[in-house]
Amino acid sequence: MAQGPQQLNADAYDEEPHFDSIQGLVSGGEVLVNEHVYTLSEDEDEPEKTVVDDLDNMSPTELHDMGLLFKFKKEYTEAIRYLEKAYKGYIQSDDLIGGILSKIELAWLSYNHVGTDGVSKAQLLLAEADSMVSEHINRPGINEVRARLLHYQGLIKYRNKEFGEALKMFRHARTFCWHEGLDAAKIFDSMAIYHERVGDYQRSVNYLQESLKIKKNIGPQWEEAVTHQILGRLYLDIEDFPNALKHLEESLQLCESLDDLKRHANIQNELIKLYIYRQDFESAKNLIETIESDNKHRNQEIPHATTLLYKSFLHYIFKEYESGLQLLTTKVIPVLKRNREKHPLATAFRLEGSFQNKMGQFEQAVESIRLALGAFKEENVIDELAKTHIELGKIYFSRHEEGLALASFMEALKICEQNGLNYLTSYIQDEIYKIDQSQWQEIIQKRGNHERIFEKERTLLEALSALSQEEGALDATELGEKTRPLISLLRVGQAMSGERDLEKLLALIMGETEQALDADRCTVFLYDKRQNELWSRVASGIGHQVGEIRFPAHLGLAGYVCKTGEVLNIKNAYQDPRFNKEVDKKTGYKTENLLCMPMRNRQMEIIGVFQVLNKNSGSFDKSDEDLLMAIASSAAVAVENAQLTKDMKISFDSFVKTLSSTIDARDPITAGHSERVAEYCTLLGDQMRMTAEEMEALRYSALLHDIGKIGIREDILMKDGRLTQKEYRHIQKHVFYTHEILKNIHFEAHLCNVPEIAASHHEKMDGSGYHRGLAGSEIPLSGRILAVGDVFDAITSRRHYRNRMPFQKVLTILERDVGTHFDGDCLEAFFNVKLHKLCQVLMIEKRLDDDEIVDSRKLIRDIDSEVTLREYHELLSKTSMTKGEMDVHNKFTMLYHQGSISDLD
């Protein structure tokens, strides 16, 4: 969908190689090169070989280091040759540590860059390395080897999209390596890329900066170049253009000094992307001209094709359609086809279609877009597939083919709704409205009706219940038996229809299923595909929560059902050899008979297993099997929806946290401010007995209350001295900006007041606040709470123009301003918060070393958990204290003054 550069970040060039986020895509998958998951396209042509000395005259260490250099420069054949020679040399000289390290590097090269047998060869090499480590576990230096091995195993997990397992291995690897060594730096890189994937950009930046600090100190330069490049891409992804430019140029200079032509070419493409993002088309054009005049760059076939793809896009921006199309069809598409670069090829096809449409070549445009659709579908790039359907719809609409346009937009809408691409749905609905307002109204109506889907069933349920109580109509027992399955099904459906919390949903399903089947207990085991395990967090009918139960997916009767898809109706569980007695041992429960059935989604994939235990009257029969099958069918849909809701909520929460931390991070002094304010507000809201939905809205408002500072000049925001009146008026505008930004974000119904709450944090009870001058009850309650949390954090934190205030003065200010600035009820609730809970929040974003962290946690634990802020305030006013009071005072004072506010985690 070719559009102007202001939409580039969320549109056609969103995830292409060199148009991508840090992870990138090459031939439809993430590629991890040099232990990193940013991707540079891999062509089949070997780069120009670097000439080195004869291998026989080099030591194993020299061979190993030279192999790594070749690996960095993507001369993989040479890298393998040198590392194999290094391995033999290490073994001959009885250097076990060097030998294992070479074997690990060879495994990684085999996994990524050897032919069809590369994966199996890599697994064999890693298994051999693992065995060698186990045999010499007490040997000096073996921990660094363990770290490298775990790290590479984690990278393979990441490559296979087992992200949770990958992160576990990265963390485990860190425990074995020297914290200022190169392996630690590489692990930081990998952890940064993991957190970037989930949208936690601030943590990614922190890890990469730590990595860079290590690499600058110990080298080698090529490793430093890698981290600069990743960091530059990350900053580009979050549109921090100055930092992106700084790090990409640093990497570029290092690559020039190392004569790494391919990486140099790719970084130049990143710089073109940066210029286009910030609409500096002249700089983008100049860099492209410089690149085209460089024969060395022109020899890098795929990077050069990428450069020309950018050039084609610039032609589109400047409406030079004929030149752009010719360049695309003669210089870009043939190269991408020849090298089987399907993802960028799909993007090129889409851009080709946009050119052809502008030039009146309608049929050719449709064909090009269809080629793009096929490629994106084959590569399973869902968001780009939806965007391409949108582009096709726009082309049809421009040709007055309303029926075909509507079909394309409806297909795009379907893809978005099935995959949670909510950021595109409003745009698609607007396009549908232009074509068919009745269709648009039906779409909106369906969304409105979603929550009322079980209204008819509820009415039927009430009718059936009433009928079963009628005297004389039928025998009550007979009628009860006839209606019980239907009533049970309706009860389950009614319970599931409104519940989106996964754990609550599972509890509801199990409780209703127990009643429906007259069973003592029901457990729903969900299938964790990544771990190949079955798990259940809730087990009803026991009388107490047992925590999470988790076991391999092939074990026990539940495992058998998960593996085979069969239904099991067992009369005596302990006589069946497949029964897993360990679950009973963990729960203290005795299973006698059971009914076990798979739970399948709409694609007929098994996503879990129902296990209903101990029928209260005899054993389970065929009617029980039929009823459970019906329940399982409905439950599978509800569980998948709840899991999707949970994933979306996690993503949105991560987005909000990233947004707030990015704003706070503009000024190192204020880092952590929004998070602390959110925690203070949560403590206060809890004291005021707010509902869960009110608390969620308050928390998001607190995290986002300063987002408007993105519109404030940095020199004013970070000024060391006091502000002038003019500067103060400028900084007050951030509240208005906050409201304007947030009102354009789509929030769920229960969060719709977030913009109003967030924009009221500088209002005062006497009406003297800003930006609207609200007073008293005109200010939302959550806004009054937010005002307390915001001021408390501001005066207990250091600022450019002053130090952290003495704590007694802080409390005096709060009490003094009741009625003028603060709501009395809110402040009273705040003073009833436990002191040790406030301490936990105060420590957020303090830069402490490991010993200080341990000390602070101990101090917090040792503070009397019953002491409130009010009691501590009264304690401070005393002329003399008891030993216990002095102990509380001393510990709090140590915590309050420990460390300093920092911009890093």
For residues 43 and 27, give the distance between their C-alpha atoms in angstroms, rounded to a whole number. 10
DSSP state at residue 803: -
Inform me whether the pLDDT recorded for 313 exceeds 60: yes
Note the pLDDT of residue 108.
78
Tens digits of per-residue pLDDT, 13-41?
222 222 222 222 222 222 222 332 222 23
What does the pLDDT read at residue 634? 76
Whether 428 has a pLDDT exceeding 90, the answer reads no
| Predicted pLDDT at 297 | 58
Q: Which two tokens stand for residue 544?
A: 């107490």
Residue 822 has pLDDT above 90, yes or no: yes
Report residue 626's pLDDT band, with 50, 70 and 90 as the boundaries. confident
| pLDDT tens figures, 840-892 | 888 775 544 445 555 566 667 767 778 899 988 888 888 888 888 888 888 88
Neighbours of 460 (CB within 10 A): 14
Q: What is the pLDDT of residue 779?
A: 94
Among residues 344, 272, 240, which one has the least CA distance to residue 13? 344
pLDDT at 33: 26
d(CA 554, CA 544): 27
pLDDT at res. 94: 83
The whole-angstrom distance between residue 51's C-alpha and the CA centroid of its chain comes to 44
Share of the chain above pLDDT 70, in %: 78
Q: Give the CA dihedral 399, 400, 403, 406, nearest 10 degrees.
A: 80
When pLDDT is averaged across residues 558-573 and rounded to a whole number, the result is 89
Q: What pLDDT is attached to residue 762? A: 94
Give the pLDDT mean for 497-506. Answer: 72
Say yes or no to pLDDT of 771 above 70: yes
Tell whether pTM > 0.75: no
Least confident of 37-51, 290-304, 521-535: 37-51
Look at the chain and count its residues.
Answer: 905
Confidence (pLDDT) at 272: 92
Q: Please determine, for residue 106, whether its predicted confidence score (pLDDT) is greater than 90.
A: no
Which amino acid type is present at position 17? P
Q: 371-406 burial, b if ≥16 CB within 10 A, otherwise e?
A: bbbebbeebebbbbbbbbbbbbbbbbbebebeeebb
Q: In which band, very low, low, confident or very high, does the pLDDT at 364 lie, cut at 50, 70 and 90?
A: very high
533-563: b (≥16 Cβ within 10 Å) or e? bbebbbbbbeeeebeebebebebbbbbbbbe
Rounded mean pLDDT, 752-764:
93
Name every residue whose Cβ is closer than 8 Å to that of residue 628 and which is 6 or more positions away in sequence: 513, 517, 595, 597, 610, 612
| Whole-number Å distance between alpha carbons of 763 and 705 | 12
pLDDT of residue 349: 92
Bridge-based pairing state of the strands 549-552 and 900-901? unpaired
Distance CA 331, CA 309 (A): 9
Domains, the chain, with CATH or none: 499-644 (3.30.450.40), 665-833 (1.10.3210.10), 834-905 (no CATH)
Asked if the model's pLDDT at residue 55 lies above 60, the reply is: yes
Of 119 and 189, more confident: 189
Q: What is the pLDDT of residue 126?
A: 80
With a cut of 90, say whether residue 382 has pLDDT above it. no
pLDDT at 846: 55
Between CA 872 and CA 8 the distance in angstroms is: 55
Residue with the bigger pLDDT between 256 and 648: it is: 256
Alpha helices (runs of H) in 93-200, residue ranges in sequence order: 96-113, 118-135, 142-159, 163-174, 182-197
Structure tokens belonging to residue 892: 């709090």
Higher pLDDT, 419 or 695: 695
Q: Mean pLDDT across the stretch 656-673? A: 73
pLDDT at 122: 76
Residue 562 CA, chain-centre distance (Å), reads: 29
Matching residue, tokens 């459970």: 628
CA dist., res. 144 & res. 158, Å (int): 21
Cα–Cα distance for residue pair 842/895, rounded to 1 Å:
8
Task: Give the residue, 261 or 534, on which the prediction is more confident.
Answer: 534
Residues 208-254 pLDDT 10s: 999 999 999 988 888 899 999 999 988 887 778 888 999 999 999 99
List Cβ neighbours of 743 (8 Å cut-off, separation of 6 or more).
755
The answer to whether 886 and 844 have CB atoms below 8 angstroms apart is: no
In this predicted structure, the answer to whether residue 346 has a pLDDT above a threshold of 60 is: yes
Helices (H), strands (E): how many in the chain?
40, 8
Give percent of the chain with pLDDT exceeding 90: 20
What DSSP assignment string belongs to 419-487? Answer: HT-HHHHHHHHHHHHHH-HHHHHHHHHHHHHGGGTTHHHHHHHHHHHHHHH-SSSS-HHHHHHHHHHHH
pLDDT reported for residue 484: 54
For residue 794, pLDDT beyond 80:
yes
| Residue matched to tokens 């007995």 | 689
Q: What is the mean pLDDT of the chain?
A: 77
Q: What are phi and psi of 2, to 5 degrees?
A: -75, 120
Task: Give the three-state DSSP class for 569.
Answer: strand
Per mean pLDDT, which of 71-80, 221-230, 795-804 is the most reliable? 221-230
User: Does 399 have pLDDT greater than 70?
Assistant: yes
d(CA 780, CA 393): 44
Q: Is residue 648 classed as helix, strand or coil in its secondary structure?
A: helix
Cα distance between residue 871 and residue 833, in whole Å: 10
| pLDDT single digits (tens) 176-198 | 888 888 889 999 999 888 877 65
- Mean predicted confidence (pLDDT) in 42-55: 44
Q: How confident is the model at residue 298 (pLDDT cuts 50, 70, 90)?
A: low
Residues forming beta bridges with residue 534, ordered by sequence position: 527, 551
Q: Tell me if 187 sits within 8 A of 215, measured CB to CB.
A: no
- pLDDT per residue as tens digits for the range 472-487: 444 434 444 544 555 5
Question: Which phi and psi (to 5°) does residue 616 adopt?
Answer: -70, -25
**Range with the lowest mean pLDDT among 119-123, 595-599, 786-790?**
119-123
pLDDT for 531: 86
Peptide bond connecting 771 to the previous residue in cis, omega within 30 degrees of 0: yes
Q: What are the residues facing 901 on neighbouring strands?
A: 846
